[in-house]
Amino acid sequence: MAVVGAGYVGIATAVGLAEQGHDVVLVERDGGRLAVLGAGRIPFHEPGLPAAYAAQHAIGRIVPTAEIPKVGLDLVVLAVGTPIDDTGSTDIAYVAHALDQAAPAIASGAACVIRSTLPVGSAMRLGTRPGVVAERLFVAPEFLRQGSALADIRHPSRVVIGSVGDQPDPDALALVTRALASTESPLLVMRAEEASLVKNASNVFLALRLTFANEVAGLAEDLGVDVGPVLEGIGHDPRIGHAYMRPSYGFGGSCLPKEVRSMSTAGLERGLPMYLSGAISEANADHQRRFARRIAEAVGGLAGKRIALLGLAFKADTDDVRSSPAMRLAARLLAGGADLRAHDPAAGMNARRVLPDLVVVSTVEEALRDADAVVVATEWPVYRDLDWAALKPLMKQPLILDGRRLLMPAQVRSIGYQLERLGDGSDLG
């Protein structure tokens, strides 16, 4: 089998297939990434994945390579990126290119499954590319979460397989099903466009829940109360639940913001008003701006203020800064004239590449020294578990703004910190 694209999805997929006993070639066009993979390592931070990859690489089950073999493959899995372009549309150029590269293998009998997230309406178009046999082409969106990619690959919440051809080749469908399905996960087989819509709509729904929690948090702040018990009360309704109801100053990452815009664009292109997805994007941008304003107010204006920013990754347990709210916040604080010292357990290097003006330090102590305030921007558990008492004397004033509601309020307040938590208006007095 070949897995094309050695990102979060591609490497986790390759490991999952190799652990089932398949021989996998992992195709990556980036020479730097390929060299890292060839040395038995992976090119990003993802818990558990380095050891799982190294084990399969060491026994020769995963072989990294630069090109898709033309013959001898049973299955080609495409896991290349589908970034958003400047117009808000999802760019499928990498998928189209990879599919063209896979065409000789498909022509010689291989099945092909696209695990990249496609914008709705694009799967059928891909099936008409020269050399592609639509009956052996499938779309099976991946639902893994960065930070738990390996567990999600081993135990998927569901496996959704969509066929591009009207009459899918039964042997090819059986092969794809065997490769992706696990005994404990629900398996759904449908049309390719339906599968793409499952993925798109799932992500938009998650974004909707997060946005809802953030909106209620804003209202609670204004009322001078804490949103924590409010969301707890809401979530006990079995029709609602607690998942994805944790307020923050905005959601980010390479998937959710993109998928919200993608649904908006897909609807508008068809003349459909997309009330919800449009509102989610606007609200998310506003929630991020509002937290930056709250920081500015708390320190009495940003200009010249030394601010420690804890966290740059878009969420904990990843080094990914794509569409990270923490990175947007850093850019805003810098633009306001703050003297920023940022720290992240894993994402520092990626952050420097995106924001070369940002000072990224390697210890929390360096970040906090002489700071007028410290901002918790990513919910890394290591920040919750810091020795906050030992850190306090380093700061100019012991002010914490917790944008992720990560810290234990009673604990840090008992040490003498002034704590302002997002969604807690009682802190504002």
Interacting residues with ligand NAD (CB under 6 A):
4-10, 27-30, 33, 79-82, 94, 97-98, 101, 116-117, 142, 144, 146, 254-255
Q: What type of residue sits at position 212? A: F
Q: Which is nearer to ligand NAD, 254 or 391 (CB)?
A: 254
Q: Are 316 and 146 in contact (CB under 8 A)?
A: no
Nearer to ligand NAD, 116 or 284 (CB): 116
**What one-character-per-residue DSSP string does 71-110 give?**
SS-SEEEE-----B-TTSPBP-HHHHHHHHHHHHHHHTT-
Nearer residue to ligand NAD within complex by CB, 6 or 391 = 6
Cβ–Cβ < 8 Å for 260, 204:
yes
Give 53's contacts (C-beta < 8 A, 6+ positions apart): 11, 14, 15, 37, 40, 41, 42, 62
Indicate the residue type of 425.
G
CB of 336 to ligand NAD, least distance (A): 31
Q: What angle do CA 83, 86, 90 make, to 5 degrees?
A: 35
Residue among 10 and 218 whose Cβ is closer to ligand NAD? 10
Residues 39 and 210: their CA atoms lie apart, in Å, by 39
Contact 263, 274 (CB under 8 A): yes
- By C-beta, is 117 or 163 nearer to ligand NAD? 117
Tokens of 219: 């209202």
- What are the distances in angstroms from CA 206 to CA 89, 242, 355, 364? 20, 12, 28, 32
Tell the smallest beta-carbon distance from residue 348 to ligand NAD (Å): 18
- Taking the least distance from each CB to ligand NAD, the nearer of 101 and 265 is 101
Candidates 15, 144, 150, 255; catalytic one:
255
**Residue 226 CB, nearest approach to ligand NAD (Å):** 31
Quick count: other Cβ atoms within 10 Å of Cβ 93?
Answer: 12
253 vs 403, beta carbon nearer ligand NAD: 253
Q: CA of 284: how far to CAs of 168, 209, 318, in Å? A: 40, 11, 21
CA distance 96 to 92: 6
* Nearer Cβ to ligand NAD (6/73): 6
Angle at which helices 192-223 and 275-298 pack, to 10 degrees? 40
Handedness of CA 24, 28, 33, 38 (dihedral sign): positive
**Cβ-closest position to ligand NAD:** 7
Tokens of 422: 């997002």
| In the complex, least distance from residue 143 CB atom to ligand NAD, rounded to whole angstroms | 6
| CA pair distance 362, 341, nearest whole angstrom | 10
Helix (H) or strand (E) holding 14: helix 8-19
Contact between 373 and 397 under an 8 Å Cβ cutoff? The reply is yes
Assess whether 255 carries a catalytic annotation: yes
Read out DSSP for 304-332?
Answer: T-EEEEE--SSSTT----TT-HHHHHHHH
Active site residues: 255
